[in-house]
């Protein structure tokens, strides 16, 4: 693109509780600055953190998971329907299986994973049979079991059952394409539409963009960009579960999943120790756009206990380096 307009740096978060968008924006930029230093861009760190290189935006949709009148995360069970609960069961099964490798908690986790899969099977066949719990109650029971397993973490410490339920239910609630709401003009939208709109609202199609999506945020950003008309010079997905076959991939829109038309380069960064990222590579299953762009896999190895942290990814030169390459080149063109 020949434009000299100042680029945009848009950051899209994953699952979790309600966030402070400004605080998180600064945290993400500081982490990215650490990665920039490691990548050889120490002289440009101040320009990054002060938004001289790019106007940074944190696309915060976390509050949309809270329903009107909700008093706390402990009511999440009441916000699920059976469809969202079934998606959550699939996520619990994959999560429990992925961390069940070794240690004293292994047997408990394998049992939870097996129970989640059994619930999925019986829920489809016998949902109304006597003695079979509803999917919503099954999810609640398994989250309670997860919270009791010693040493289990989800980027949290001493997580309660309601906390697990609140966080693990978010992908299911997004992917079920429901939870309708009417705005002041009478327009009816679903939760997933409102979430994608939060991302789109941070973008100006007249200016080039660099977009970083973490975890569920990578799914949200991918779907949002499907209808976006502006140039995306770099799309970076970190810890992306997009290719997760039993949970996310079959539910992506549009179908078949394709690289958005405006994306000029896509880096799919994944840590081999990240429990959320599936084994199959996204570049092997997604359709390229008209320019032939496919996700470029960027494997990392951190050996971290919890490798899914967005900040941990952003501190890596493999993430920050390509971002800084785009932004500094843009600064030179515009000067």
- Please spell the DSSP secondary structure of 245-305, one letter per residue: TTTTGGG-SSSS-B--TTBS-EEEEEETT-TTS-SS-GGGTSBP-TT---EEEEEE----S
Domains of the chain: 8-63+188-334 (3.40.50.1820), 73-175 (no CATH)
Long-range contacts of residues 111-115, Cβ cutoff 8 Å, at least 24 apart: 112/142, 112/145, 112/146, 112/149, 115/142, 115/145
Q: What does the buried/exposed string (b/e) look like for 46-73 if buried means 16 or more CB atoms within 10 Å of the residue's CB? A: ebbbeeebbebbbbbbbebbbeeeeeeb
What pLDDT, in 10s, does the model give residues 20-71? 999 999 999 999 999 999 999 999 999 999 999 999 999 999 999 886 554 4
Strand order in the sheet with 55-59: 55-59, 8-12, 209-214, 232-238, 266-271, 295-300
What are the φ and ψ backbone dihedral angles of 247, each rounded to 5 degrees?
-120, -55
Q: How far is CA 69 from the centre of its chain?
A: 26
What's the length of the chain? 335
The pLDDT score that the predictor gives to residue 78 is 46
Statement: residue 115 has pLDDT above 70: yes
Q: What is the pLDDT of residue 103?
A: 59
Residue 144 has pLDDT above 90, yes or no: no
Alpha-carbon distance of 125 to 122, in angstroms, equals: 5
Given pLDDT bands bounded at 50, 70 and 90, which one contains residue 132? low
Task: Supply the Cα-derived Rg of the chain in whole angstroms.
Answer: 20
**Would you give the end-to-end CA distance of the chain in angstroms?**
16
Q: Does the pTM of the predicted model rise above 0.85?
A: no
Separation in Å, CA 65 to CA 133, 213, 222: 25, 18, 19
CA distance 241 to 87: 14
pLDDT at residue 104, as a whole number: 59
Cβ count within 10 A of residue 288: 14
Q: How far apart are CA 104 and CA 109, in angstroms?
A: 10
Residue 124 has pLDDT above 80, yes or no: no
């Amino acid at each position: 693109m020949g434009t000299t307009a100042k680029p945009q740096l848009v950051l899209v978060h994953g699952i979790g509780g309600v966030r402070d968008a400004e605080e998180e924006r600064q945290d993400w930029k500081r982490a990215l600055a650490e990665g920039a230093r490691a990548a050889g861009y120490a002289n440009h760190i101040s320009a990054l953190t002060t938004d001289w290189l790019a106007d940074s935006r944190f696309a915060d949709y976390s509050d949309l998971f809270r329903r009107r009148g909700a008093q706390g995360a402990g009511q999440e069970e009441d916000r699920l329907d059976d469809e969202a609960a079934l998606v959550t069961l699939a996520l619990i099964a994959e999560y429990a299986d992925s961390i069940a490798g070794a240690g004293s908690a292994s047997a408990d986790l394998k049992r939870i994973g097996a129970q989640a899969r059994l619930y999925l099977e019986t829920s489809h066949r016998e949902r109304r049979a006597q003695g079979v719990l509803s999917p919503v109650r099954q999810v609640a029971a398994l989250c309670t079991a997860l919270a009791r397993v010693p040493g289990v973490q989800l980027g949290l410490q001493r997580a309660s059952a309601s906390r697990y339920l609140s966080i693990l239910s978010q992908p299911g609630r997004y992917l079920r394409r429901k939870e309708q709401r009417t705005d002041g003009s009478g327009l009816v939208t679903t939760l997933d539409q409102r979430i994608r709109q939060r991302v789109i609202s941070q973008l100006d199609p007249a200016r080039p963009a660099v977009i970083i999506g973490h975890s569920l945020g990578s799914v949200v950003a991918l779907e949002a960009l499907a209808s976006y008309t502006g140039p995306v010079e770099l799309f970076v997905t970190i810890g992306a579960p997009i290719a997760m076959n039993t949970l996310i991939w079959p539910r992506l829109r549009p179908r078949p999943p394709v690289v958005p038309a405006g994306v000029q380069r896509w880096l799919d960064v994944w840590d081999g120790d990240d429990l959320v990222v599936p084994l199959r590579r996204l570049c092997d299953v997604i359709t390229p756009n008209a320019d032939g762009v496919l996700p470029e896999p960027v494997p990392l190895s951190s050996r971290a206990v919890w490798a899914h942290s967005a900040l941990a990814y952003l501190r890596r030169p493999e993430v920050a380096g390509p971002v800084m390459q785009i932004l500094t080149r843009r600064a030179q063109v515009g000067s």
